[in-house]
Structure 1
């Protein structure tokens, strides 16, 4: 069931309602009793909830093969300090 967003034409109150597609749209503001209009929204897209999703699950691989950046060696750091 989708969530619809409404805005009151009288007081400007914005609220969401979890409704079936076949339900009649809400016409009365629950706060002031004025007329409401259904807002047109782009939707939410994909939402990941819960544990188990990691950034490495869908990471693109680099040309180096392992997908990590090479670290500087300690010898390079010592020579740069001298």
Structure 2
């Protein structure tokens, strides 16, 4: 269940509430008791999906190229063999 943030327009009291998406928003402020003054606030998510393991899909076939969604350009990731450095025998 998501946590929603609310604010009372009458007294300015801010509070959070854990509720289902289908539950109605509260109409009474728990601090001052004002009716129909409580409004839901817009908040930013508290997590971010990032890292090298987040791909468009992890269920593609072996021949398909995966796109890393954390990179802005969404370039296909290609595996390359490690380059060996030439040995210097001077």
Shorter-chain TM-score category?
0.5 to 0.7
Shift of 1:43: 1.4
Partner of 1:39: 41
Corresponding residue for residue 9 of structure 2: 9
Where do 1:52-67 residues align within 5 Å? none
SS of 1:17's equivalent? strand
CA distance in 2 between partners of 1:24 and 1:7 (Å): 15
Q: RCO (CA 8 Å, sep 6+): is it higher in 1 or 2?
A: 1
Q: Which stretches of structure 1, 4 residues or more, deviate above 6 A after TM superposition?
A: none
How far apart are residue 40 of structure 1 and its match?
Answer: 0.6
Q: Distance in 1 between matches of 2:42 and 2:26?
A: 14
Task: Give the paired residue count.
Answer: 48
RMSD (Å), alpha carbons: 1.9
Provide structure 1 residue ranges, at least 5 long, that are not aligned to the other structure. Answer: 47-82
- Measured after TM superposition, the shift of residue 45 of structure 1 is 1.2
Instruction: Give the match's secondary structure for 2:43.
Output: coil
Mapped partners of 2:41, 2:6: distance in 1: 5
Structure with the bigger percentage of helix:
1
